[in-house]
Amino acid sequence: MIGDKLVIEKHHTDRALEICDLLKDRLREKFAITVAGESGSGKSELASEIARLLTQEGLKTGILQQDDYFVFPPKTNHEMRRRNLEQVGPYEVKLDFLDSNLRSFKRGENPIYKPLVVYDEDRITTEEMDTNDLGALVAEGTYTSLLQFSDFRVFIDRDYHQTLEARKRRARDRWEPFIQDVLEREHQIISQHQALAQVIVAPDFGSILTREPEA
């Protein structure tokens, strides 16, 4: 997404190092990783560091952002949520489109065509992504645990109370009571996706837990 702001800190890098170490025995060409969690939990930062470190180790890695796949551009989507809070959920995202891009990548199809949000202009355009030299893709976003074509799922276990300061630093939304209603609804949905992950990042970002995901 054009206009997004990342605040990468040491704990993002430290956890990314641990995750990349876990991946060494699992990685193969055209490998798909997802990083999920609630808004402001550090998904973009962690995904960025995983991609950077894998690339540094010789497996060139790209990133797909779920924010590019929303049905409506961000400011319009915010107003749609105001009209109907029930809209908040996976159905406001073109997850099938994102999943199809992962599938195309894993099949070796190149290039892939994906949406691209221009945040400041509140519009969605399309871009051509050259994946020919990529060995892995990281798809990051709130609902990416649900993607069928993921080979490895990471979940950040932070709720919206713990992510408040991070959201303020990124300054994507003007804080108001309505935002808390949105975050509570997201929490009720996203917290259930933790069971799908192979790696869970602790709420304080101080450690990771590995586990076998539920079917």
For residue range 61-119, what is the model confidence (pLDDT) as tens digits?
Answer: 999 999 999 999 999 999 999 999 999 999 999 999 999 999 999 999 999 999 999 98
pTM over 0.75: yes
Q: Give yes or no for residue 1 having a pLDDT over 80.
A: no
Within a domain: 173: yes
Q: pLDDT band at residue 29, thresholds of 50, 70 and 90?
A: confident
Within a domain: 38: yes
Within a domain: 129: yes
Tell me the pLDDT of the chain averaged across its residues. 92
Q: Which DSSP letter does residue 70 get?
A: B
- The model's pLDDT over 148-179, given as tens digits with 9 standing for 90+, comes to 999 999 999 999 888 776 666 655 556 678 88
Residue 205 Ramachandran class (φ > 0 left, ψ -120 to 50 alpha, else beta) = left
**Radius of gyration of the chain measured on its C-alpha atoms:** 16
Within a domain: 138: yes
Overall average pLDDT of the 113-142 stretch? 96
Q: What range defines the domain where residue 119 resides? A: 10-210
Within a domain: 3: no
Overall average pLDDT of the 143-147 stretch? 98
Within a domain: 5: no
User: How many domains, the chain?
Assistant: 1
Within a domain: 215: no
CB-based contact 154:34 (threshold 8 Å):
yes
Q: Give yes or no for residue 20 having a pLDDT over 60.
A: yes
Angle at 122 between CA 64 and CA 110, to 5 degrees: 30
The CATH number of the domain where 179 resides is what? 3.40.50.300
Within a domain: 183: yes
3-state secondary structure of 19: helix
Overall average pLDDT of the 133-159 stretch? 97
- The model's pLDDT over 108-124, given as tens digits with 9 standing for 90+, comes to 999 999 999 998 899 99
